[in-house]
Amino acid sequence: MERKKHDGVYFFWSTSIVICMLVAVFVLGFTSCKKNTDVPAASESPTASEEPSGTAASASPDGTTTPGTVSSSPTSSTEARLGETEDMGQEYVDKFIFLGDSTTYGLGYYDMVSDSQVWTPASGTLTLAYWTAASIAYPDDNSELLIKDAVAKKQPEYMLITLGVNGISFMDEKYFVTEYTNLVLAVQEASPNTKIILNSIYPVSASYPAENGITNEKIDTANTWVERIANSTGVKYLDSESVIKDSNGAMPDNISNDKALHLNADGFKLVINYLRTHGYQ
Amino acid sequence: MTKKHILLITVILALSLLTACGGKTAEIRNDVAVSDISTAVASVLGGDTLVSVPDTFYSGSMKMDISEFDGCDVKINSKGINIDEFGILKAKDSSQVSAVEKTVKDYLQMRIDTWMVEYMPEERPKLDNAEIKTVGNYVMYAILSDDGKKAAFDAFEKSLTA
């Protein structure tokens, strides 16, 4: 009787332990499987509403930023700005390589210059922030080359750079000046004899949505940076925007192909004429 | 059921418990160079057009100080013909991971806020559906097609769990 009672208690506890361990194995098995397929990961789409932490609007055009490895020159200096000259003629324009974004791409699109003179990435546009990583569609042999490599290969006599409108929405002054300065230095290093002109950023139309972060006020500010970079790197600045601005500082609709930020043929004619009559000296 | 049977079952279950404790999570590596992971990810995306951005990109576009991270690499399409992009950032320790994730979220939001409607509108869904994935101290984001994201994140996890 006593032995039977003892066996009963033993059986009860043994069965309980086995059941508990079975449950534990079951739970751990599931947990283990989940971890294997779902590695400690968090996946989500960006839905945060935080504002970008830096915008061009907050930067002062008279800042004292030291760009790249070059010291800033006094902001009041205008020695880089090209003054009016006699018409240098089409032969002068034909000596240029035009490097830039979609506002440069249009020069070839509207046959203002030969396609072989227009350097943009295959997409037709270029953001200043990406210039070191971007490859251009090198027209001479249809290869893809980094800008510095293309310049080293071509050794252009003149180069007009038009960049910045795609960057001012998110690049603050320091970032903008550093990147642009480094680009100029890279071109100078790759082709020391190339005469470089930094072109002003063209205005956008008055109806261009400010929500995109691009306004004529920002463009005006950025153009002071571009001129300052020209001064500090010893190259020239072309104030071509002065001939394509209306009284409100915007791109007139009659010279825009999209009532946004791109010139049409009439607009480019004004720019080319300004280039010819403000020759490199 | 005899005592022997019960003992046998108990031993088997105990061994099963020990096996279950040794799951895959213990195999996540924290010593893989970001550049190695990035190369592995780029290779599954057909990566000869994906190139690394310069260091100035991190301070300028992502508003981060790379010296505060254990490594980072962002690759973009060099031709600019699409907006394909991914980035891998490694936190110095686990306490920094959430800050790294916030940096990436802020960057992606900035990209959305400054999107230019003039260019490649067909690419916009990649940005709207960009994803962030965290494994250990590594944070990866991807602005890619759905297929590209799957391949990229698989390569990312495989690099860290192999």
Residue B103 belongs to a domain: yes
The beta strand positions in A150-230, using DSSP E, are 158-162, 195-199
Distance, in Å, from the CA atom of B89 to the CA atom of B101, rounded to the nearest integer, reads 9
Distance, in Å, from the CA atom of A206 to the CA atom of B137, rounded to the nearest integer, reads 47
Provide the phi-psi class of A212: left if phi over 0, else alpha when psi is between -120 and 50, else beta.
alpha
The beta strand positions in B78-135, using DSSP E, are 85-90, 131-135
Q: Which residues lie closer than 8 Å to A158 by C-beta, 6 or more apart?
A: A92, A95, A96, A97, A194, A195, A196, A197, A280
Q: Which two tokens stand for residue A4?
A: 């039977």
- Identify the bridge partners of residue B50 per DSSP, sorted by sequence position: B77
Kindly indicate whether the ipTM for this predicted assembly is greater than 0.85, answering yes or no: no
Q: Which of residues 7-66 of B touch A (CB under 8 A)?
A: 9-10, 13-14, 16-17, 20-21, 23-25, 28, 51-54, 56-57, 59-61, 63
Residue B16 belongs to a domain: no
Give me the number of domains chain B comprises.
1
Residue B22 belongs to a domain: no
Residue B5 belongs to a domain: no
Asked if A30 reaches chain B (Cβ–Cβ under 8 Å), the answer is no
Do the bridges between strand B138-143 and strand B131-135 make them parallel or antiparallel, or are there none, so unpaired? antiparallel
Residue B7 belongs to a domain: no
Put simply, the answer to whether A129 touches B61 (Cβ < 8 Å) is yes
Residue B57 belongs to a domain: yes
What is the residue range of B141's domain?
Answer: 29-161
pTM greater than 0.80 (yes/no): no
Residue B127 belongs to a domain: yes
Residue B8 belongs to a domain: no
Q: Which of A182, A159, A165 is nearest to A98 (CA)?
A: A159
pLDDT tens digits in sequence order for chain A, 281 residues long: 555 666 666 666 767 766 766 666 555 555 444 333 333 333 333 333 333 233 333 333 333 333 333 333 334 456 999 999 999 999 999 999 999 999 999 999 999 999 999 999 998 999 999 999 999 999 999 999 999 999 999 999 999 999 999 999 999 999 999 999 999 999 999 999 999 999 999 999 999 988 889 999 999 999 999 999 999 999 999 999 999 999 999 999 999 998 899 999 999 999 999 999 999 98
